[in-house]
Amino acid sequence: MAQTIEIKNGYVFDPLNEIDGEKMDIFIRDGKVVPELFESEIINAKSIDAKGMTVMPGGVDSHSHIAGAKVNVGRMMRPEDSYKWSRGKTALTHSGSGYTVPSVYLEGYEYSQMGYTTVFEAAVPPLEARHTHEEMRSIPMIDTGGYLVLGNNWFIMRYLRDGDIERAANYVAWMMKTHKTYGIKCVNPAGVENWGWARNVGSLDEANIHFEITPREIIHGLCEINELLGMPMSMHLHCNNLGQPGCCDITRESLAIPNKIKANQNLDVEWAETKIDSKRMQSVYLTHAQFNSFGGTSWGDFESGTKEIIDYVNKTDFIVMDSGCVPFGEATVMTGDGPAIHNLYALTGNKWSNTDIEMECGSGVIPFTYLKANPIHSVQWAMGLELLLMVEDVWKSIMTTDHPNGGTFLKYPQIIAWLMSQQAREKTFGECHAWARDRSDLGGVDRELSLYDIAILTRANPARTVGISHRKGSLGIGADGDVTIYNIDPTELNTRNYEQVISNFEQAEYTIKDGQVVSQQGEIKMIPEKRTYYSDITVKDEGEKDMLSDVKEWFKYYTVGFANYPTPEKYLMNPTPIKVNNER
């Protein structure tokens, strides 16, 4: 299959190479970006004339719920979500349905049509890793990987309480390999374990029952382990008290915990050439910051608490966060934070689901509709945008909706329009509840992001933050030949016409993956090979042996046998281990 292509005359936005709308040609040979093609190759290569168009690296979504048990629970409990959002099969594509929780095939097609080529599943409970991989392998068009939920894991809590960081690190390394997962996710540390006993934790120094470990100790421990092992991404944090008025305080405090821990990304991989350092800088990656930045003390005096977070992020350099924007409309809230889902149920009375995942974590799902007429939802809308517009350095943030929690990923173009156009924000201010303006700082923001900034928020920075920038998120020599071409002429771009911006980002003119046109103007052109990334971490044999003998001893509390616990590689589509070199 020809994976050789030239993309001519486009305006290129490649932030990792500091290319800001320069008119240039991109060449891809055998699926990788190369400096040029030989005359003889050009004759046979596909050539795309991108004159008057915007060329960016393929989109990277670093936090999205696309596969696994809770996504599937969302699908099962929401037939109404599928009823009015479906598409038939074609000679090339499968049929599919679901608006906020699409079926696997539809997820791949919809992401690809928007120009995305890589998406990471945000939460994989270890016991559900098989299920997650079974779904992930069926998502076409995009490369995938998943983050392993470890913040309430019994082994981790015990090792950290006993100060046994070595053993905990060996355990994490083994778990990543065992479940073919990519990075460490920490959800409501210490709290979800308590939720198994109908309790939660309220502060960073409140020890949970049985394990008597505090959220602070877990966050610090996991960050330390992460850098000890040299993981591709930093520890991925979902803070305590999420979704409760005033939670911005605990979030800011949590972010300060790893301030002395130095980022140490130690990968044994081929790096694509980039002008600026494409190694990750941060030692903690905060997720869906919006849901963690609620101000006020109750729903009555609720307000945006993002200022506290933004100020802190602005003056430090070890934090990256994704926004978790709320673009209004239908959503399905799903998280490993069981108590947060129960709170939402108590608030809305909606149908809901909660699960305890033995010895590991928990989760919950609840359908949700964000309404412009609702004061809280309107403030949440403003908060998501504040987080992206008021953090000075764009390299500290990533644009997400925490799909499908704040809204579906299909709303990304709408968010881009709000970021690029003050006019678009003013229009929405006019339509939504007055609290959006009164209880946030968004009304006073006149910043309008450029296409270069958008390329950072949606490609370069997600790739760098999760440590896949050695092959994704740039068009440097040696990078994967993933390119998106949008029908936007940057020289004539008028963001006052934000409806046009939305429609241009909704449908990429071309999405190119590994040097092949996979979708064009909303039509799927081919189903490319896809890869699943996971971290393959080298640890010392004796350390692993010692840890395993302990794990096997405690495995008696599991309802599965030790031999049935691991996820074999055959569950993955093109398993692609990232060698993490832990030779110390």
Partner 1 sequence: MAEIILTPVGKIDIMIEAEVITPDNFTSKSADEIKKLLVWQGPKQLPLSKFFDVKGDAASSPQETSIIIDGDVTRVKRIGAGMTAGKIKINGSTGMHVGSEMNGGEIVVTGDVESWAGMEMKGGLLHIMGNGKDHIGCAYRGSWHGMTGGRILIDGNAVSQLGGGMSGGEIVVTGSVENFCGIRQNAGLIVVKGDANRGVGAEMSGGTIVVSGTIKNFLPGFEHVDTQSDLTFGDITCQGDFLQFSGDHAIVARTKGVLYASKNANEGL
The token pair that represents 298 in the structure block:
């109750």
Q: How far apart are CA 10 and CA 348, in angstroms?
A: 49
In order, the DSSP letters of 37-55 are: --HHHHHHSEEEE-TT-EE
The nearest distance, CB 300 to partner 1, in angstroms, is 17
The nearest distance, CB 373 to partner 1, in angstroms, is 15
* Cα three-residue angle 369-373-379, rounded to 5 degrees: 80
x/- string (CB under 8 A) for partner 1, residues 315-354?
----------------------------------xx----
Q: How far apart are CA 233 and CA 118, in angstroms?
A: 15
| 35 in contact with partner 1 (CB under 8 A) | no
Q: How many positions of this chain bind partner 1 (CB under 8 A)?
A: 8
| 300 in contact with partner 1 (CB under 8 A) | no
Assess contact for 330 and 369: CB atoms under 8 A.
yes
C-alpha of 528 from chain center = 22
The nearest distance, CB 395 to partner 1, in angstroms, is 42
The nearest distance, CB 75 to partner 1, in angstroms, is 11
72 vs 114, 188, 372, 476, 569, CA distance in Å?
23, 22, 28, 37, 22
| 79 in contact with partner 1 (CB under 8 A) | yes
Q: Which of 71, 77, 365, 488 binds partner 1 (CB under 8 A)?
A: 77
Stretch that binds partner 1, among 71-79, 249-257, 304-312, 573-581 (CB under 8 A): 71-79
Stretch that binds partner 1, among 75-83, 98-106, 129-137, 422-430 (CB under 8 A): 75-83
Stretch that binds partner 1, among 15-23, 79-87, 127-135, 444-452 (CB under 8 A): 79-87
The token pair that represents 313 in the structure block:
């992020």
Number of H helices, E strands in the chain: 20, 24
Q: How far apart are CA 60 and CA 64, in angstroms?
A: 10
The nearest distance, CB 67 to partner 1, in angstroms, is 21
Stretch that binds partner 1, among 77-85, 162-170, 319-327, 498-506 (CB under 8 A): 77-85
- Pick between residue 350 and residue 497 the one whose CB is nearest to partner 1: 350
Assess contact for 580 and 266: CB atoms under 8 A.
yes
- Pick between residue 408 and residue 474 the one whose CB is nearest to partner 1: 408
The nearest distance, CB 278 to partner 1, in angstroms, is 44
Q: Is the peptide bond before 404 cis (omega within 30 degrees of 0)?
A: yes
| 299 in contact with partner 1 (CB under 8 A) | no
- Tell me how far apart the 2 most distant CA atoms of the chain are, in Å: 70
| 30 in contact with partner 1 (CB under 8 A) | no
| 81 in contact with partner 1 (CB under 8 A) | yes
| 83 in contact with partner 1 (CB under 8 A) | yes
Q: How far apart are CA 531 and CA 360, in angstroms?
A: 27
Length of the chain: 584
- Residue ranges that bind partner 1, judged by CB under 8 A: 77-81, 83, 349-350
